[in-house]
Structure 1
Amino acid sequence: MRVMLADDAILFREGLARILTEMGFDVTGRCGDGDTLVRMVHGDPPDVAVLDLRMPPGFADEGIEAARAVRAAAPSVGLMVLSQYVEVHHALRLMTDFDGGVGYLLKDRVSDLHVFGAELRKVAAGGTVIDPDLVVRLVARRREDDPLGRLTERERAVLALMARGHSNTAIATDLYLAVKTVEAHVTSIFAKLDLAPGEREHRRVLAVLRFLRA
């Protein structure tokens, strides 16, 4: 498999090139910035390009911009972006802007050579690779941003029965609660889902819709 590398840290770049060569990869080009990588890809597209996220001149998101240019020049090239830290917003751009054949890994993952080699092949074949630390961050962010995550288990049970069309009285019967307790739960659900006071039945419908879309 043919690989090109772009990383301004020369020790990391040359070390990775040597390791990949020893693993049986054909390293056909290496450079320290995105523009040079794009020119190399134009001349002789590899199977996969490995790019640092932050490269000259701005050390911001040059890796993603270079990845976009590489994909425009050679749509079949896999793109593996490496980063020193988990940067969720950049990773999300990568995963949403490209249709497969992409990966986002922390540089520390490269130390597991067997796994890294398999992930490069996966990306080259059109698959997607996401760093485990990024998955943890995304799950945590979703929990924080999801209003349903604010509900207690009891409130979720009440909302689930609301979604089945149960009245407060029917919910009270099913959950062995007093009607007043159910009403208190319903009021709490409205507040946690940021449903402003208004016609009660209208808020009930909106709460159910949010539950069904989750």
Structure 2
Amino acid sequence: MAPHPYGRPLTLIGLLATLVTVPAPAHADPVGTFYARMLEEHGGVFVDEELAGVLDRREVADDLRAALDGHGVRLSLLVVEGVEDRGSLDRLARISTEEGTDPVLVLSPGTVMIGRANLDGSGVPEAAVDHAAYTGVSPEYPADTLDHVLSAAEHPDVEEMALLAEAEFHAASDGHGEGTEADTASRAAWPGAAGVLAGLLAGWGLVAAGGGLFERWKR
């Protein structure tokens, strides 16, 4: 008997419908996918193009790589603009690994906070990152921030140093965690420092939707 004339099209339609309705993996995130790809393509150090009008992206990336080489530490580094709170920076660090195990730090020149993920085994304790954050002055050149982290990581009393720095930080800011008045004033000197994560996520969502638009972010 000859096959039904509509058999093959109906089969294809059924397969397509199945693929469309299968839920995406829970860890899939367009922002994380983008940054994971940029880290891979730029040797583990990527400076967001949003900072192009603020600093020399290539020079910053070179200085960060030199600092890592000088301390013999394996880290992936993101430098972003417009993300200023610790929670958002930590989330950005986590999703940029695509559920992987690469240690990541996220620096944002407009804030003293530093995002981190998967630091176990990297040679950089969490306390070193906390110490650098609580003793930093915003705005700060990214390579200087990284050097503070790596120098603190080599100190035998880094845990105690971090606790003391945190206490002094909150005391100076009256417990609000916003830093000193001098820090707040200097932060305004950076264009776009008051941007929120929602805007960043929306922008990257559009990039992900465009697919091919990823290419324009390459150097």
Q: TM-score range by the shorter chain?
A: 0.3 to 0.5
Q: Which has the higher contact order (CA 8 A, sep 6+)?
A: 2
Larger strand percent? 1
TM-score of the aligned structures, taking structure 2 as reference length: 0.32
Larger helix percent? 1
TM-score of the aligned structures, taking structure 1 as reference length: 0.32
